[in-house]
Amino acid sequence: MSIVPSAKPAGALYWPVQAHRNIGVRALFLVVLAFLVAYGVLFPGLFTASGFAKFTQSWFPLALVAMAQAILMLTGGISLAIGATVSLGAVIAATTMAGPLGVAGGTAAVALTGLGIGAATGFIVVKLRLPAIVVTLAGSFIIGGAALLILPRPGGVIPAWLSDLLAGDTPAAFMLLVVIVVLWKLYLATPLGLSLYAAGENPVGAYRSGVPVDAARVAAYAISGLLSTGAGLFVAAQTGSGDPVIGTAFTLNSIAAAVLGGIGFLGGQGTMRGALAGSLLLSLMISVMFFLGFTPVAQYVAQGLIIIGAVAIPQIRKVQK
Amino acid sequence: MTAWNDSAGGKRVSAILKSRPFLTLAIVAAVWIVASFVSRGFGAYGHLRYLVELGAVIGLVAAGQTFVVIAGGIDLSVAAIVTVSAISLPLLSWQADTTGLVSVLAVLALTTAIGVVNGLGVALLRVHPMIMTLAMATFLQGLLIIIAGGSAVTAENPLVHWLGNARPAGIPAGIILWIAVSAIVLTVMHATPFGARIFAMGANPLAASLSGVPITSTTLAVYGISGFTAGLAGVLVLGMNGQGYVGIGDPYLLASIAAVVLGGTSILGGLGTYAGTIPGAVLLVTITALITVVNASPGWRSILFGSLILGLLLLSGREQARR
C-alpha cells in the first residue's frame, strides 16, 4: 500500500488510501447516522450522561465481538465459537474476581484464556490446515463445555465497584472502546498488522512476497479470542454474575454485524470502522425493537428479515451497476 | 485419481483403499471393535442396529448438506428445518387422511419450499450462504415459538408412527428409508448431468457459469434438496420420539456438517461424495454413544464430543494445500 514508490512523503498517501476504503461504507455511515437521529428523537434520554452511558454499554459487547469476527474475516477465516468464548470469559470473571486472585488477577486470567484459546484455534486452523468453520464449530463445544465445568449454573460474583465502574452511570465503556480502536490503529502499523490484509486478500502472493502469512493469521485468532473473552468480562460486569450460556447469541450477531459493516467472507475486504458501524446499527435495531415493545419472538423474525435485507440490497445494487 | 484411468484392477482396489470414504469406514469399524471389547454389550447386534438407526437421522440431514457443501455453499438452517418439520406435521393433518401420507407430503413440500427460499436468497439476492441460512434459522426459530407456543406436540399419524417404530424383516424402517435415500442420492450425485453440474459449480462457479451451467436453478435445486432431506429427517425423528418440541432439531446442525467433513467432502466445495458422509454419520452417533457410556457431567461430555470431532478431523478432514 504505502510501499508504492513516490516522491511524496509517506504520510501524503495515508488519507487518499483511507478515503478509498471509505467508499464502500459511506452509505452505511449515513444509515447509522439516520438511525441514531431517529433513536435520539424517539428517546431523548440518549443525550443525558446516564442515557449515553447506558446506550454505549448495550453496544459495547456487540462492538467487541464484531471486531473479533471482523479481524478473522479480514484474514479469510471465521469463527463459530465466539459465543462460547464470550460465555467462558464471563464465567472466569465471575468465579475469579471475588476470590484470592482479585480483580487484577481475574482480568489477567480472562485475557490469558482468550489469547490462549485464540492462539490454539489459530494454530489448528493455520498450521494443521483444517477448515475454520468446522474447527470453530467443534471448538464451540469444547469451550462451551469448559464454561459449564467452571460454572454449571448461573452464579459467581463480580465485585460491585467494578460493575458500577463498567456498567454504571459512567462513560467507561465508550472510553474503553476508543482505547481499543486506537490500539487497533497502532496494531495495523506493526508488521503483523500490515500483513493482515495481504494475508486475507491474496495469501499465496503475500507468502511469495515474504509476508508472514501464517503468523498474521494465528495472531488474528489470538486477538479475536482476547476480544471475545473481554466481551464476556463486560457482560458479566453488566449482570453482576456469570452464566455459562450467556454468550450464545453473539455468534450470529458478530457475523451479522461484520457483514452489515461490509466485511467480505473471502478475506481482505472491508474495514474495522465498517464492522463497528455494523455492530452499532445492529445494536440500534435491537434497542429500537425492544423499546417499541416487540416480543422476543417478533425480534427474532424481524432480525432475520433485516439482516437478509441489509446484506442483499448493496449486493443487488452492485449487480445492477 | 490416475489409478481410475488404468484398467488394472489392482490399482482400482488400492485407490478405493486410499479413498476418504473407505478411511472413515475403517475408523468406524476400528472404534466398534475396540468399544465392544471395552464395554460389554456395545457390540451386540441390537445395539449396533440402534446406532445405525440413530445415524439414519443424521445421515438424512447430511444428505442435503453434502449436496450444498459440494456446490460450494453451506446450510446452517437444517436444525431449524428439522424442528419445523417435526412440529408442523401434527398441525397439518386432516381427518380424511387415514394413512397420514398426505400430511407427510405437505410437510415435505413446506420444508422444500423453505430450502428453495434459502436458494433464492443465495442465488438471486446474492447473500452469502452462511448469512442467508443463519438468518433463515433465526427467522424460523421465532416463527416456531409463535406456532407451537413452546409446548410439545404429539403426532397421531400412522405413517410417521410406522416409520419410527416398525421393523419389517428385523430392520428398522428408518434404516430402510436411509438406504433408499442413499441409493437415490449417490445415483443423482455421480451418475446424472445434475450431479456433474453441482461439482462443477462448487469447484469454480465462474467457469461453470461460462460453460453453460444454469447457476440459479442449480442453486435453488441444491438448497431445495437440503430442505427436503432435513424435512424427511424431521418426520423420522418425530416418529422415533413420538413427540415434537422446539429444539428437537438442534443437535443435527453440527452433526450434519461434521458428518460431511469427516466423510472427506471439502468444505470449500467441488470435491467429495455422499459415500463418505454415510460412515461419517455412523461415526458421529458412535462417538455420542461412547460419551454416554462414560457417564460424565454435561460439561465434560461437551468437551469430549468437541475434542473427538477435532481429533477425527485431523485424521480425515484435512484440506489439501491448494498452492
Cβ–Cβ of A265/B314 closer than 8 Å?
A: no
Chain centre distance of CA A209: 30
A50 to chain B, closest Cα gap in Å: 32
| Within a domain: A245 | yes
Provide CB contacts within 8 A for A207, sequence distance 6+.
A213
Q: Does A97 touch chain B (CB under 8 A)?
A: no
A302 to chain B, closest Cα gap in Å: 7
| Within a domain: A31 | no
Cβ–Cβ of B258/A147 closer than 8 Å?
A: no
Return the higher-pLDDT residue of B211 and A291. Answer: B211
Name the architecture of domain B44-316: Orthogonal Bundle (1.10)
CA atoms within 13 A on the CB side of A23: 6
Are B246 and B1 a contacting pair, CB within 8 Å? no
| Within a domain: A42 | no
Instruction: Nearest by CB to B125, from A78, A141, A316: name it.
Output: A316
| Within a domain: A132 | yes
Taking only the tens place, the pLDDT of each residue in A30-81 is: 888 888 888 888 777 777 777 888 888 888 999 999 999 999 999 988 898 9
| Stretch 204-223 of chain A: residues touching chain B, C-beta under 8 Å | 204
B254 to chain A, closest Cα gap in Å: 7
Query: Which of B314, B200, B312 lies closest to B259 in space, CA to CA?
Result: B312
Residues of A in contact with B137 (CB under 8 A): 304
pLDDT value for A104: 85
Q: Is the pLDDT of residue B296 over 60?
A: yes
pLDDT value for B114: 93
Residues of B in contact with A147 (CB under 8 A): 299
Domain ranges of chain B: 44-316
Q: Is the pLDDT of residue A4 over 50?
A: no
Number of Cβ pairs < 8 A linking chain A and chain B: 141
User: Which among A254, A311, A320 is the top mutation candidate for probing chain B, defined by the most B β-carbons within 10 Å of its own β-carbon?
Assistant: A311
pLDDT value for B318: 60
List the single residue in A with minimal CA-CA distance to B132.
Answer: A308
| Within a domain: A117 | yes
Q: Any idea what the CATH number is for the domain that residue A77 is in?
A: 1.10.3470
Residues of A in contact with B301 (CB under 8 A): 145
Domain that holds residue A190: 50-315
Alpha-carbon gap, residue A76 to A55, rounded angstroms = 32
pTM: predicted TM-score of the whole model, two decimal places: 0.82
| Within a domain: A5 | no
pLDDT value for A1: 45
| Within a domain: A26 | no
Largest CA distance in chain A: 63
pLDDT value for B2: 45
Cβ–Cβ of A131/B257 closer than 8 Å?
A: no
Provide CB contacts within 8 A for B283, sequence distance 6+.
B24, B27, B28, B31, B259, B262, B312
How many domains are contained in chain A?
Answer: 1
pLDDT value for A72: 92
Q: Degrees (nearest 5) of the Cα angle A253, A256, A261?
A: 125
Residues of B in contact with A128 (CB under 8 A): 314, 318
B44 to chain A, closest Cα gap in Å: 30
User: Which among A308, A313, A318, A319 is the top mutation candidate for probing chain B, defined by the most B β-carbons within 10 Å of its own β-carbon?
Assistant: A308
| Within a domain: A140 | yes
**Can you tell me the mean pLDDT for A176-187?**
91
